Amino acid sequence: MQRLAMDLRMLSRELSLYLEHQVRVGFFGSGVGLSLILGFSVAYACYYLSSIAKKPQLVTGGESFSRFLQNHCPVVTETYYPTVWCWESRGQTLLRPFITSKPSVQYRNELIKTADGGQISLDWFDNCSSKCYMDATTRPTVLLLPGLTGTSKESYILHMIHLSEELGYRCVVFNNRGVAGENLLTPRTYCCANTEDLETVIHHVHRLYPSAPFLAAGVSMGGSPGDSNVQPCLKTTPSCQDTACRPSLAICLFLSKRMLLLNYLGKIGPKTPLKAAATFSVGWNTFACSESLEKPLNWLLFNYYLTTCLQSSVNKHRHMFVKQIDMDHVMKAKSIREFDKRFTSVMFGYQTIDDYYTDASPNRRLKSVGIPVLCLNSVDDVFSPSHAIPIETARQNPNVALVLTSYGGHIGFLEGIWPRQSTYMDRVFKQFVQAMVEHGHELSSM
């Protein structure tokens, strides 16, 4: 024992002298420094490959849809490799708008009237130079739905238009009332439970191109303070088009168009001109979304900021609401739940906030969806808790496919060392819409 103790003391002393010498020489230029860096890198790589990079879970309501996706949309069965230095949910969500590029897109704007005297702004990308579909009457059309206060200028929308352009498709972006710089003509905005405006847009586009394949995709940024670097603004000019006055990032999941799209499909069933649809980072249960965002860290990072943005979006049109809503009370809201309780639920005639949130949750209508729908979610999305994803309901509807990644955050899905040009979500979008346009007939024959 004494001999062993002496050996240990000697080894310890020699090791200390060696390390002191190496530190003086320079840590990163020393063998120890390089060994530590190499060892950490190997350990991190092993952890990343074993615990982070995984194949998504594919949940379908029928074997036919599953085979179809495996054959024509293989990305949903391939391993998703999140950006190695940014795979955590909040990091993916917050960094995406800062990292990804914003392709240049030239739009043609159209204002259409609604039955109640309001107006909706549509931004068209006609893709007249399409070589695959030179006939405009049969050129596939993709209706894009950004978040409720989002517009056609969001980076994720621009990326989807760029991908659609490569495929030869035409796109049209549905901007909700009053968010794209146009005047608000009636004292009404929007909510994800009321599908009237979306129905108006869908029927309008279909009447223009009844022979063209027609698809839709519902997307939003959700919790990301950075796409256009906008800040909450209290200007009240109804027609304000200042970028800083457009809170384009205030898109909470329970106020998002992908929920609106699913609620529409659940209400209308198969009687829609849409051939197929895709949603990304949908909030399935509004109550669960709200509870998750009210946790202290999530409230600090997302909830309060989004609330101020929502307040800013309605305050621009304050003069339209003062007769029916206490706007001073609305402007004092500290959370999205409080905003919905004081503004959204009152505007659309709900007795309580619980009534509104129940009606807004698309999980209760998923069983009635009558066309092929692909829904991409990350199970680490703080805006959409994994326990609220309706897996069992999806398994009961042959038209529904859930693609669930282990990581990706909320509309993040970053991949690659420096993900400027493309994300996993973009690849899912491109492969799915192409599969439905070119091979969708196979589903009906399966």
Active site residues: 220, 381, 410
Distance from C-alpha of 168 to C-alpha of 128, rounded to nearest angstrom: 9
Paired with 54 in beta bridges are 80
- Which alpha helices (H) appear in 294-335, and where do they start and end? 296-298, 304-315, 318-321, 327-330
DSSP string spanning 195-240? -HHHHHHHHHHHHH-TTS-EEEEE----S-TTSS---------TT-
> What tokens appear for 430 in the block?
């491109």
Residues 6+ apart with CB under 8 A from 375: 262, 278, 279, 280, 282, 394, 400, 401, 402, 403
Name the amino acid, one letter, at 33. Answer: G
Which is it for strands 373-378 and 276-280: parallel, antiparallel or unpaired? parallel
Residue pointed to by tokens 């739905």: 145
> What tokens appear for 329 in the block?
């009370």
Rounded to 10 degrees, what is the CA torsion of 206, 207, 209, 212? 40
Q: Buried (b) or exposed (e) across 238-247, using 16+ Cβ within 10 A?
A: beeeeeebbb
Residue pointed to by tokens 């599953």: 66
Distance from C-alpha of 331 to C-alpha of 16, rounded to nearest angstrom: 63
Which is it for strands 400-405 and 373-378: parallel, antiparallel or unpaired? parallel
Extended strands (E) in 264-303: 276-280
